[in-house]
Amino acid sequence: MQTPTKTAAHSVYNLNYHIVFVTKYRNKVLTGAIEDHIKEQMPILCERYGWEQLALEVMPDHVHLFVSAPPTTAPVTIAKTLKSILAVSLFKTFPTLKQKRFWGSGL
């Protein structure tokens, strides 16, 4: 069985990254409607930036994301872009989340 490859202007690649996002203080807040919001928004964000979401698993205190990206994108760029945009989206959608668990700071 051949591995699926993608092509760019001057390369053939198959780069997949396993990224784990952890909540601040490992608070178990990623459940219910918040979990549904993450599962809804993550594929949209990946598509917007040209990355392919291969798998997503949301646990109460962390998120596992398996994503494929071109070699021109650093893994740290993927992680910080997705986490920052998703955190802003979560805090706008669930304003009490920021007040109760995170004392006005990041997710």
Which residues of the chain fall short of a pLDDT of 70? Answer: 1-3, 100-107
- DSSP character at residue 87: H
Residue type for 3, please? T
Please give the CATH number for the structural domain made up of 12-96. Answer: 3.30.70.1290
Question: For the chain, percent helix, then strand, then coil, each to nearest 5?
Answer: 40, 25, 35
Structure token digits, residue 16: 């997949």
What residue segments make up the domains of the chain, in order of their start? 12-96
pLDDT tens by residue, 90-103 = 989 988 887 766 65
- pLDDT over 70, % of the chain: 90
CA distance 89 to 45: 11
Bridge-partner residues for 35, per DSSP?
none
> Cα–Cα distances in Å, from 30 out to 23, 27, 33?
8, 8, 8
CA distance 46 to 84: 13
